[in-house]
């Protein structure tokens, strides 16, 4: 299984993701420049990742310009053919702007940039919540009630913010996201978006490898 990591002007987590996949998970990674469009080296079973950062300086809205890049047009086609796509933080914002995922990411409820470890539960968190870092100013997931109900009914909410003990509460929500939503997927379950950064919790050197659980659970099956 190969991975492609898209590099936009303003990406700052692309090399973190590359290192997590190559060094920690021993996977082949190809870096993809935003102005290119060739994905012919990837098969349906491979995965394209949109990393965190500030693509195109976050002008207009987060991810609003990145959605029009040549590479994103190819990523949209790749996802439409069943290929796996993961967007982390700014990558999640780009997926929503590209309409590959529903909803939108708004400014945090406290109007401040949040950078800390949080807890979440969902895919891969079998016995206990996972500790994963967040670092964003616009990570508050928002959608209308019909969309939220549909996401929950179709089991498209893949991660939910919680406290260390697993309780889903306002105190465990770092940004005010509706229904404590930290990550979602599309109905076909091949496009995933999440605000927390699993690539920053994948090395034993940082004392936390919970991110490996997420990357393995989402992408390696």
pLDDT for the residue numbered 118: 98
Q: What is the pLDDT of residues 150-199, one digit of tens each?
A: 999 999 999 999 999 999 999 999 999 999 999 999 999 999 999 999 99
For the segment 90-95, the average pLDDT, to the nearest whole number, is 98
pLDDT-based confidence at residue 67 (cuts at 50, 70, 90): very high
Q: State the average pLDDT for the chain.
A: 96
**Which pLDDT band, with edges at 50, 70 and 90, does 221 fall under?**
low
Please give the share of the chain, as a percent, with pLDDT higher than 90: 95
pLDDT above 70 coverage of the chain, percent: 100
Print the domain residue range for 202: 2-219
Cα angle 115, 64, 149; round to 5: 75
What three-state secondary structure class fits 66? helix
Catalytic residues: 89, 197, 199
Average the pLDDT over 14-26 and give the result.
Answer: 97
Q: Which residues of 34-47 are buried (b: 16+ CB within 10 A; e: fewer)?
A: beebebeebeeebb
pLDDT of residue 170: 97
DSSP state of 200: G
Q: What is the DSSP letter of 203?
A: B
Cα 132 to its chain centre, rounded Å, is 12
In degrees and rounded to multiples of 5, residue 206 shows phi and psi of -95, 0
- CB distance 114 to 108 below 8 Å: yes
Give which of 108, 104, 98, 125 is closest to 214, Cα–Cα: 125
Nearest to 32 by CA among 104, 83, 154, 17: 17
Count of structural domains, the chain = 1
The pTM of this model reads 0.96
CATH number at residue 75: 3.40.50.880
Q: Are 166 and 152 in contact (CB under 8 A)?
A: no
Alpha helices for 81-134 (secondary structure H): 90-97
As to burial, measured by CB atoms within 10 angstroms (0-12 exposed, 13-18 middle, 19+ buried), residue 115 is exposed
The predicted structure's pLDDT at residue 59:
83
Q: Residue 6: CB partners within 8 Å, gap ≥ 6?
A: 14, 32, 33, 34, 48, 49, 50, 51, 71, 72, 75, 91
């Amino acid at each position: 299984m190969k991975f492609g990591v898209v590099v936009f002007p303003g990406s700052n987590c692309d090399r973190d993701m590359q290192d997590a996949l190559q060094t920690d998970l021993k996977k082949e990674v190809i870096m993809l420049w935003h102005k290119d469009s060739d994905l012919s080296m990837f098969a349906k079973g491979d995965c394209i990742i949109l990393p965190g950062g500030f693509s195109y300086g976050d002008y207009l809205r987060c991810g609003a310009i990145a959605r029009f890049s040549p590479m994103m047009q190819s990523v949209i086609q790749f996802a439409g053919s069943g290929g796996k796509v993961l967007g982390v933080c700014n990558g999640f914002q780009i997926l929503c702007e590209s309409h590959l995922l529903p909803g939108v990411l708004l400014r945090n409820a406290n109007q401040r940039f949040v950078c800390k470890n949080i807890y979440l539960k969902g895919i891969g968190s079998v016995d206990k919540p996972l500790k994963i870092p967040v670092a964003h100013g616009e990570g508050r997931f928002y959608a209308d009630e019909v969309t939220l109900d549909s996401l929950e009914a179709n089991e498209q909410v893949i991660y939910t913010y919680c406290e260390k003990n697993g309780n889903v509460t306002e105190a465990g929500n770092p940004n005010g996201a509706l229904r404590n939503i930290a990550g979602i997927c599309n109905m076909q379950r091949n496009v995933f978006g999440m605000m927390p950064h699993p690539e920053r919790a994948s090395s034993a050197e940082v004392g936390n490898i919970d991110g490996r659980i997420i990357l393995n659970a989402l992408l390696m099956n």
